[in-house]
Amino acid sequence: MPKKLLVTGGAGFIGSNFVRYWLNHHPDDDVINFDALTYAGNLENLKDIEKNPRYKFIQGDIGDLEHNKKLFHDELVDVVVNFAAESHNGRAMVEPDIFVKTNVLGTQMLLEAAKESGIKRFHHVSTCEVFGDLALDEKRAFKESDPYAPKTPYNASKAGANHEVMAYFHTFKLPITISHCSNNFGPFQFPEKVIPRFITNAIDNKELPLFKSSQNKREWLHTIDHCRAIDMIIEKGKIGEAYNIGSGVEKSVEEITGAILKRLHKPDTLKIYVEDRPGHDRRYLLDTTKIKNELGWEPIIEFEKGMDEVVDWYVKNEKWWRPLLGKGFVENYQKITKIK
């Protein structure tokens, strides 16, 4: 049966990839992209589908309850996929109030509007960072049932949003699901994030500033595999449940940097080492047993091949990323100076 999806934050990195993915894989469905177009929201991400009759863009803030209610009423939305969030840890240290406003209060305003609309599913996109971090040598991964232990204002705001989503399920019977995802990489990622920032710096022969704890690890997942997982959760996931989405592939920033420099044939001398940011998490790793066993999802994009393709995408799409350089960067929470 055809559905109408409301994708919040659909002009951002993962959101825009998801909008395109859904239109390609669900030819009977319509998609509404609802985005405030803050600095990281970019309609150029979806230039190729802007004339698709099954796609519609509406500008707005998820924190505006009355606008949310009108949107649900006018558009007869069946499914909400909530990507809308502030997500940069460095920025959260400078402007933590914005993260609480968007990620917690904004999500609650969206939930409140959805509560009265009779939607079939409200899927909330969260992060592995709500669980805190692991030691580098720890022999376990985060399970969906683990307690939240956020360490940064961004992490805390996402944990708060998760609590609100679950509260609306238990109190108001809103049909929700939640996903916790590991670090994503892919095309159209705003160049304040580490992978596109290092790629674009290296292309321009600029220094790549690694934190001195560059051996800290992250779990890396291609954004298309993330989109596939959300698709399965919406189609087959159990109401009121959370699902971890991860690849099992752990790479340090040192290893990521090496792969970028190698692909671009750039020297290691571009690397510099800078002081850590406060609350810099050591390691994240998600246990994905639940989504694999219950829904049959597994990642299909191999990391090394995916990384090479992403580096090549930035090389070929300079017209997309060059106008974005310098927008949204937050440097004043740390000294960007070489460690002697």
Q: What is the pLDDT of residues 149-165, one digit of tens each?
A: 998 888 999 999 999 99
pLDDT of residue 138: 82
Three-state DSSP at 33 gives: strand
Give percent helix, percent strand, percent coil of the chain, each to the nearest 5.
45, 20, 40
Confidence of residue 210 (pLDDT cuts 50, 70, 90): confident
Virtual CA dihedral for 25, 26, 31, 33, nearest 10 degrees? -20
- 283-310 mean pLDDT: 96
* Average pLDDT of the residues in 231-249: 97
Question: Would you give the end-to-end CA distance of the chain in angstroms?
Answer: 62
Q: Kind of pairing, strands 217-222 and 250-252?
A: antiparallel
- pLDDT bin (cut points 50, 70, 90) of residue 336 is very low
Beta strands 121-127; 79-82: pairing state: parallel
Q: How confident is the model at residue 330 (pLDDT cuts 50, 70, 90)?
A: very low
Please provide the DSSP assignment of 129-177 as one string.
GGG----TT----B-TTSPP---SHHHHHHHHHHHHHHHHHHHH---EE
In this structure, are strands 208-211 and 242-245 parallel, antiparallel, or unpaired? unpaired
% residues pLDDT > 90 (the chain): 75
CB 91 within 8 A of CB 328: yes
Per-residue model confidence (pLDDT) at position 338: 42
243-260: pLDDT as tens digits: 999 999 999 989 999 999
Mean pLDDT over 285-313 rounds to 97
Mean pLDDT, the chain, rounded, equals 90
| Alpha-carbon gap, residue 169 to 175, rounded angstroms | 6
Higher pLDDT, 72 or 210: 72
Q: Could you tell me the strand order of the sheet in which 55-59 lies?
A: 55-59, 30-35, 4-8, 79-82, 121-127, 176-181, 242-245
Chain centroid to Cα 206, Å, comes to 26
Query: pLDDT (tens digit, 9 = 90+) per residue, 94-137?
Result: 777 878 888 999 999 999 999 989 899 999 999 999 999 888 77
C-alpha 145/C-alpha 148 separation (Å) is: 9
Q: Hey, what domains does the chain have and what are their CATH numbers?
A: 4-185+219-245 (3.40.50.720)
Q: For residue 47, what pLDDT band results from cuts at 50, 70 and 90?
A: very high
Lowest mean pLDDT across 50-64, 257-271, 277-291? 277-291
CA-closest candidate to residue 75, choices 23, 174, 8: 8
Question: Which is it for the CA torsion 5, 38, 284, 304, positive or negative?
Answer: positive
Give the pLDDT confidence score for residue 278 in this predicted structure: 54
Separation between Cα atoms, residue 320 and residue 33, nearest integer Å: 20
Q: Is the pLDDT of residue 332 over 80?
A: no
* pTM reported for the whole predicted model: 0.92
